[in-house]
Structure 1
Amino acid sequence: MSKLPAMPSLPGIEKGNVFSIESVMARHARPGRHVLLLDEGGGWRGCGTAWKLAEDGHQVTILTPDPLVGKELQRTAADFPLRRTLRQLGVKWLVDVSILEWHGDGVTIVDHNTRDESFVQGVCLVLATTNVATDWLAKELEGSSQPVMKVGDGVAPRQAPYAFHEGRKIA
């Protein structure tokens, strides 16, 4: 049985229309016309999802605490073409901001430089946030006759190389 990724804590998240990028890309979620996308990673997870949503006709606004969109892609061949393509697709972005609260029809953000708060309207919020440990299967298997060994995101939020390393150690 497949479970969706755990959602991070955010005031107002219970008001609905908040989706993980995994849910959006797997087409489990149906975002509305104007999408707010929180990109905390600065890589392809958030930028690629914004690109796909914009190509599908959504109005996308990227919100990031970083000083530029796609900061983890700097010094790669994707750096400039990514932002150029996002702009050509009509994607807007606000940098150096964090979300304080989801209201169901938009977010309250805070500007890191001025500490000013403002409201940004949107019909849904898509979260490209840091990974959350996904250990539901290990919990379900606790007490079974077979030992359960956790690796990767089953232990803590991390990237694939850590899971490979842990799996090899266990093997």
Structure 2
Amino acid sequence: MSLINGLPAHVLLVHIVVVLVPLTALALVVAALWPRAARRLGPLLPLLALVALVSVPLTTQAGEWLERHVNDDALVRRHTELGDGLLPWAVGLFVLAAVVWWAGRQAPAGPGHGGSMRWSALPVRIVVGVLSLAVAVGAVVDVYRIGDSGAKAAWHDTSSKTATGAKRDSDS
């Protein structure tokens, strides 16, 4: 995919990544630390993570197409390098979202109920919570860094230092 309605697809697809990756990260942390939220979210959590995961390589591929159609620039190359690092974070979000969802399904509904896995057991919740928090923070920070580098690449030489662009009286 290279163009959507005459616009570079990357410029449009990037918004999906910028919204869904942090949203998935937040939902994952809440569900991992609060089993009741995991049960309430149900399959929405892994589905959200799956859409976020699929959007990353689509956006990256569209970005690589765009990179071949703009002038060679160090800022664009840096943005591309950073963008290539988001996929492992998105995979981590998806895997952990699936684990949290599955564990939430296996958890007993209340005290005294049996189950093949004690999702409410503190050590399990701590490990999953710490992993979820680490991956969520890593993914969000990476999205921020990639977006910041993309904005710098796109806008670094397009704006004026003054509000109107006109010369001030002291300049004449």
Instruction: Report the TM range for the smaller structure's normalisation.
Output: under 0.3
Larger Rg computed on CA atoms = 2
The structure whose residues are more often strand, as a share, is: 1
TM-score, structure 1 as length reference:
0.27
The structure whose residues are more often helix, as a share, is: 2
